[in-house]
Amino acid sequence: MAEDLAAFVAAMDRCWLEQRFDDLANYLAEDVVMAAPGGGRIEGLASAVESYREFMSRSRIAHFAARDHAVTLRGDTAVVEYGWDMAWESGAESGAESAGERHEASGREVLVLARRADGWRVVWRTQLPA
């Protein structure tokens, strides 16, 4: 089961990386909460999907790698943690002041999944510094 949940999360990452934003509904719960490292909070599927769409509309991903998945399963709840490394260029929008600005970051993703009637869904997400 741990391998299945790690594969589930990898498939979810491919959705936003490939800009298949509508497919994120197969992974995120209607009542998902995303807690940003700086204290911001996004609630609900539509807002969560829009956050991925907005990031990708102004970014070009040069590199993304996920590693060291750890899964904790307790009944109908699972926590999936993994490290990630990403390099991207921001300012993909035409005329953006920061066009061409390169970024590199590493961190740790923490996802809480709940088993629902339609399968596993991410109900909570945050990122931690590497």
Domains of the chain plus CATH, in order, are: 2-129 (3.10.450.50)
Beta bridge partners of 73: 78
Q: What is the pTM of this model?
A: 0.90
Are 34 and 54 a contacting pair, CB within 8 Å? no
40-to-17, 34, 35, 51, 58 alpha-carbon distances in Å: 22, 8, 6, 12, 19
Going residue by residue through the chain (130 aa), what tens digit of pLDDT does each one get? Answer: 889 999 999 999 999 999 999 999 999 999 999 998 888 999 999 999 999 999 999 999 999 999 999 999 999 999 999 999 999 999 855 445 555 899 999 999 999 999 999 999 999 999 998 8
First to last CA, the chain: 26
Classify residue 19 by its DSSP letter.
T
Residues 52 and 25: their CA atoms lie apart, in Å, by 12
**82 Ramachandran zone, left/alpha/beta (phi>0; psi -120 to 50):** beta
CA neighbours within 13 Å on the CB side: how many for 126?
Answer: 11
